[in-house]
Structures are given as C-alpha cells and as structure tokens.
Structure 1
C-alpha cells in the first residue's frame, strides 16, 4: 500500500472517530434539553414532526423521524396517555389513521419548541453560519455517497 492510501485510510478512521464523538456529545446535550420537558427523545421527535408538518399517517411517522415502525404504536400510545396526541381516522381512506396534536400538545409545543431551538443554537454555536452551511453540505455529500455504496 502506498503512502497516499495509508494517509487516506488513517484520515478516514480519524474522521469516523471524530464524527462519532461529536454526534454523541451533541445527542447527549439535546437529550438533556428534551428530558427537562418530561419527554423522551422519541416522543419529542414525534411531537415536533407533527407540530411542524401537521397531522400525519401513523404508518409514515416512523420513517420520517428515523425509528422502527414497530415502536411507533407504543410511542403514539404513550403520547395519547399524556393527552398530547390523538388518533384521527382518515376521511378518505378508512385503513389509514392519522396522529394529530391535541390542544394540550399544541400548547406544549408552542411553549417549548422556541426554547428547544434556542438550546440547539447554543449547542451549535461553536460554528458560525458559513461553517454550519459547509458542514451540512459536506455531511449530505458523505451520507449520499455512503448510501450509494
């Protein structure tokens, strides 16, 4: 193996380690912020998705918030017990059930979402706007490349 290949392998390993550690640190801070709300990260992700996008078919929520569709029923059940979410039958297709925020769910998100975005701003304040844009583009490029391998 030539020197250039060795360097590229070493840098690839270092990038993986640095990226993994950065994600773990960021995730820990975000989870701490969410736990203060009395929710777990999965519950918050579902609430935030519906808050941002409106009523959603329950079957589609899992793929959009990146967790197993098998656990979506449990999460929806938990949010229903907390009176933050309700199930609504789809008027056009009786086989489809939508998840919708309750009044209490909307009030909670109206209150906590601005605070959550402030926390994210603080977490990512180690980068300026241009650096954030650059990182976003580079990570998208890397993610699409890995996905297509």
Structure 2
C-alpha cells in the first residue's frame, strides 16, 4: 500500500512510455546536434532560435517570447543570442512596443545558415524518427504529443509569472536549463 503522502506508483505502461520518450528524444537530439554542428556550426538551441525567427512573418521576436518558446532561461538565451549576433546571424534592437524589451531579428546571413542546415535536418528527422512510422502513426503521435504539450504549456510561461516568491506555481526545472 502506498503511504498517503506519496503518489501511487506508475503503471508499467506509463513508465515504459516515459522511458521510451526520453530515449527517443535523447537519441534524436544527439544526431540532430551533430548534423547542425557539421552543416552550420550551430548548437541545438541556436538552431531553435534561428528557426523560430525564420518562421516569424517579419523575422523578429521579443527576447521573452523566444525564451518561453524554446524553454530556455533568460540568461542562457541572452548568451546564445549574443553568440548568434557576434556571428552576424541575428541583430538585436530595442522593442518598438516596450522600452524595456529587446527584439531579435534574423539576418540574411542567418537565413543562409538555415537554408544550409535544413536539408540535412529534414533528412535526419525522416531517417531516424519518421521512417518507422506510418502516416496514421505520425498523426496519432502529433495528436498525443500535442495534448501533452498543451497541458504542460497551460502553466504560465516564466515571463508571464509574478517574480514574487510563492506568487505563482513553479514551472518544471526544464525552464531553468
């Protein structure tokens, strides 16, 4: 019997699904990181930032939006954006909407790097992740992971929470990575 102050143990299928997700994520990320380094001298986070900016209609996002979108600490994001800026792949400017905010914009050089790394990135995704799945499997996985993602994102992002101690529910530690 489980003591009243502890959650019940996970069912075998729950534990198996969790470990499979962790292993698949680790294996895929490792190979993707290698491909990004070789093709564009980018880290995984730098690629996420460039891809997010490249996907924006005007190529720009506020720093807080970037941090919340890629689930990265503000200080870590500032460092990574600084590296991208030194490489000429992004530019930073004061936000037009908020004097305290900073907007990051992908440059043409950043778009060129994205164009160089995307073909290999897609190849890795297809070969390692999508190849063993049917179209129905992919749609099911998309639906299931979307439900989990939306559930996890229901906790306000770090930038939207009050900074007072105890004022808001603490987000999982991955936010502080």
- TM-score band by shorter chain is 0.7 to 0.9
Point out the structure with the larger helix share.
1
User: When the two structures are superposed, what TM-score results if normalisation uses the length of structure 1?
Assistant: 0.82
Q: Structure 1 residues 84, 145: CA separation in 2 closer, same or farther (over 3 Å shift)?
A: closer
Is 46-55 or 123-132 further displaced after alignment?
A: 123-132
| Residue 84 (structure 1) aligned to one of 63, 67, 89 | 89
Q: Deviations over 1:50-103 (max 9, x none)?
A: 011120111211101111122111011100111111112333433222101122
Give, in angstroms, the shift of residue 143 of structure 1. 4.6
1:55 to 2:57 alignment? no
User: When the two structures are superposed, what TM-score results if normalisation uses the length of structure 2?
Assistant: 0.70
1:100 to 2:119 alignment? no
Q: Deviations over 1:8-66 (max 9, x none)?
A: 71222222222221221112121121121211111111111101112011121110111
CA distance in 2, matches of 1:110, 1:147: 30
Higher-RCO chain (CA-CA 8 Å, sequence separation at least 6):
2
CA distance in 2, matches of 1:121, 1:58: 31
Q: Report the aligned-residue RMSD.
A: 2.4
Report the equivalent of 2:44: 41
CA distance in 1, matches of 2:152, 2:102: 34
Structure 1 runs not aligned, ≥5 long: 2-7
Q: Structure 1 residues 102, 142: CA separation in 2 closer, same or farther (over 3 Å shift)?
A: closer
Q: How many equivalent pairs are there?
A: 143
